[in-house]
Amino acid sequence: MGRHLPVVGQKRAPVGEEPPEERPPWHWVAIGAVMQLLAWLLLSLLAQPLAAGVARAVAAPGDARSAALVLAGTHVIVTLGIGSAASGALVGRFGGRAGPREAALSGAAAAAVACALTAPQAGVVALLVLAPLGALAAAAAWIGARIALPPRAE
């Protein structure tokens, strides 16, 4: 075989030493959950002005219910879905042996952490939204990981 060029930033093990071991797949569940929570928070902050403008345009004056639905739909469905897919793509692409299963588990774990953080204020509502949030986050992360899987050598 021909000689391969080193990848930029790749650390090579000194002569006589073995390269460091790859992270086990369960590490990528925690890494993916943290990445997803950070992406969801950032996307929610960026989407808030847009969602507020859409809510003002869609809702009739004094109709708080439709405005709340637009705001919640934007923050839950759009930003959670995009953040989950992005973190799932990172887990699927760079996770080594970790794949779509670990990405989906990281999505469910991130939703559980988000519900646990809001439980003192939201109470029972946090428990009621855990299943739909977890399902949405897990599905989006799984899809993101499936799309971003590295090409397999055949």
pLDDT tens by residue, 18-40? 666 777 888 899 999 999 999 99
d(CA 111, CA 47): 19
Position 106 in a domain: yes
Residue predicted with more confidence, 14 or 148: 148
- Show Cβ contacts of residue 106 under 8 Å, excluding neighbours closer than 6 positions: 28, 29, 30, 31, 32, 33, 35, 36, 87, 88, 91, 141
pLDDT tens by residue, 46-78? 988 888 888 888 777 777 787 788 888 888 888
Specify the pLDDT at position 101.
94
Q: H helices within the chain, ranges in order?
A: 25-58, 64-73, 80-94, 100-122, 124-128, 130-148
Please give the DSSP secondary-structure letter assigned to residue 20.
P
Position 83 in a domain: yes
Tally of domains in the chain: 1
- The domain of 72 spans 26-148
Structure tokens at 114: 């988000």
Position 54 in a domain: yes
pLDDT tens by residue, 81-138? 999 999 999 998 888 888 899 999 999 999 999 989 988 888 888 888 889 999 999 9
Model pTM above 0.75: yes
Position 19 in a domain: no
At position 58, the amino acid (one-letter code) is V
Query: In this structure, are residues 124 and 154 in contact, taking their beta carbons and an 8 Å threshold?
Result: no
pLDDT score of 154 more than 50: no
| Residues 37-50: b if buried by 16+ CB within 10 A, e if exposed | bebbeebbeebeee
